[in-house]
Structure 1
């Protein structure tokens, strides 16, 4: 049998794998100063904003950083949260939401067309990266970022995220990214830098949330050494013809012990996790232009037909369709 280098103490970086699977297709970023009172900013479903982004954008996530002043925010079916200086609110799943200076918010329905036009203007440079609106006295300043993404349908990250995340008085790495973003509003090449900073700020916000979440065990690895060893083996060589019996022998446990402890630690059986891991890698390889036959071999399927059936069962799309299709709505 092939030797695998994973040891009992290894912890696969599941969170990096999950964040890597969020294929970002673009970022649009601007700073807006509002004079109180200002009309509520309403965002529709993220899928309605995809026309402002590149091909293969299936959803749009967003986040907002309060630089000055305060405001209210809420996603659909979430309680409103009051935000102050240094707070970040993120809407990672593309749920509809509002930002407002007071409750209840004005203009009750979102206008996707006007927001798409604004984002297209930011992308083309027709809208400056920093602008002001409103006619009052008190000022609220927000950094607003919208990110096109193509989340994988079997990626557990999106399934574990709430529609709205709030990070209070951000510090550390996230605060540093905010400072860098504020310093890059204008100047040659600044649009590209803003895009990268926007992506980094979004991923860091998700990372901090997931690391603090008590429910997403898969993002932390596991404290169960037996499950951790099995997990490391699956990550080290997902193409290997694993069975529960073979995996149990490799980690020095009985089949029944592994079958009991792995789901408790990870939330899935070893074979369910392996299937998801293989299909996740396959989707990424197909995005890069690899042939269906080559992908089937690289992720451990005995035949192209078997791989195609498994892929379509999980995504609703054949591998060749995924590879060549514009999957925007």
Structure 2
């Protein structure tokens, strides 16, 4: 059976764009460059992350954090916060940087950035949490260390290994976030034993003529209970989620060169015209225009945004 989280990560096509080890001596402060999805694993010490519009986030040894973007992010020492201008990281050897004054280091962290090669990455990322924090995630720390080690090496198959490690890292991070209680959305839905069955059916059989009654039966719930529970845990109505997931698949198929008729059939539409109308309503372009031209800019509040679909 299809695993929705694995499917979403695969469609994102993640790649490791940058990875490094950072040592630091308190007090220190740094503003990471804006390079896209950012992750950090604390190996030693304490950190404080400051994000616009959020309370300061404290991280300790063994903690892991994943952010979709680094806009307005500041990383400070946790025990003795720095004041004044942010520090400039100093490269002390290849792939290793230091923050703060020279001297006995009290903090070590692995940080990195990943990039999503999918044209519709923003749409897919909207299915996932805006912030992932995992406390004491030994498996995640190990994966980050392996990722950094591989990034430093020049061994055969390096790019393939990096891609696979990053996929595993993201899946492990999102899976852990779901287990710890994420915001309403796909991860929380998958953590619900009953809803997970329906979500896997939707992702695994998009061509099936699903009805609310059929999905509720898969979840072994009444229609009313299923619909209410789905809205509460996933954030939208079941049929709305299904429609938008089908459009995600349609965009991927169109990018791969399938005809409009083939795409319509692959996501469960018997009539090409009905599919074209639904696609244009969701994406803002006809399937033909989408396949031929530059992809629309996906943003919060736009017709192509899946933020309402899951979380």
TM-score after normalising by structure 2? 0.71
Q: Tell me if structure 1 keeps the 8 A contact 2:179–2:191.
A: no
Residue pair 1:174, 1:201 contacting (<8 A) in 2 also: yes
CA contact (8 A) 1:145 1:198 kept: no
Q: Matches of 2:98 and 2:177 in 1, distance apart?
A: 31
Task: Work out the CA distance in 2 between the residues paired with 1:252 and 1:147.
Answer: 35
* CA–CA separation in structure 2 for the residues paired with 1:251 and 1:97: 43
- Counterpart-to-counterpart distance in 1, 2:65 and 2:296: 26
CA contact (8 A) 1:287 1:323 kept: yes
Tell me the distance in 2 between the aligned counterparts of 1:316 and 1:70.
Answer: 46
What are the superposed Cα offsets for residues 95-144 of structure 1, whole Å, 9 maximum, x if unpaired? 53111235365447xxxxx99xx9xxxxxxxx943344544213233211
Return the offset for 1:89. 2.1
Cα 1:189–1:252 change in 2 (3 A) is closer
CA contact (8 A) 1:62 1:145 kept: yes
Match of 2:73 among 77, 85, 97: 97
Aligned to 1:71: 47
> Residue 283 of structure 1: which of 236, 248, 251 is its match?
251
1:178 maps to which of 122, 139, 144 = 144
The 8 Å contact of residues 210 and 216 in structure 1, kept in 2 or not, is answered as no
- Cα deviation for residue 275 of structure 1 reads 1.0
- 1:134-190 CA distance string (max 9 Å, x none): 4421323321111122455654x635624x33322222x324313423543533238
Partner of 1:124: none
Q: How many residues are matched?
A: 283
Q: CA RMSD in A?
A: 4.0
Q: Is 1:14 the equivalent of 2:24?
A: no
Alpha-carbon shift at residue 265 of structure 1 (Å): 3.0
1:166 aligns with 2:133: yes
The answer to whether structure 1 residue 293 and structure 2 residue 266 are counterparts is no
1:272 deviates by 1.9
The residue that corresponds to 2:305 in the other structure is none
Structure 1 position 29, deviation (Å): 1.5
Return the match for 1:145 from 112, 117, 130: 112
Counterpart CA distance in 2 for 1:204 and 1:325 is 35
Contact 1:75/1:91, CA 8 A, preserved across alignment: no
SS state at 2:14 partner: strand
CA distance in 1, matches of 2:176, 2:216: 36
Structure 1 pair 244–43 and aligned structure 2 pair: CA distance change class (3 A): same
1:154–1:315 CA contact under 8 A, matched in 2: no
* Whole-Å separation in 2 of the counterparts to 1:249 and 1:165: 30
What's the CA shift string for 1:257-281, capped at 9, x where partnerless?
42x1332232244432321231122
CA deviations on 1:1-44 (whole Å, 9 max, x unpaired) are xxxxxxxxxx8633333434434255322223334444422444
Match of 2:230 in 1: 266
1:203-245 C-alpha deviation (Å, 9 max, x unpaired): 3212210232165474326444xx6665555444321334446
Measure the CA separation in 2 of the matches of 1:142 and 1:293: 50
In 2, the alpha carbon distance for the partners of 1:104 and 1:64 equals 19
Counterpart in 2 of 1:81?
Answer: 57
Q: Deviations over 1:26-80 (max 9, x none)?
A: 5322223334444422444xxxx3xxxxxxxxxx211111223332212211221
1:319 partnered with 2:297: no
Classify 1:309/1:43 alpha carbon distance in 2 versus 1 (closer, same or farther; 3 Å). Answer: farther
| Unmatched segments (≥5 aa) in structure 2 | 298-311
Distance 2:219 2:146 in 1: 49
Contact conserved, 2:197 with 2:218, CA < 8 A, in 1? yes
Q: 1:79 to 1:320 in 2, by over 3 A?
A: same
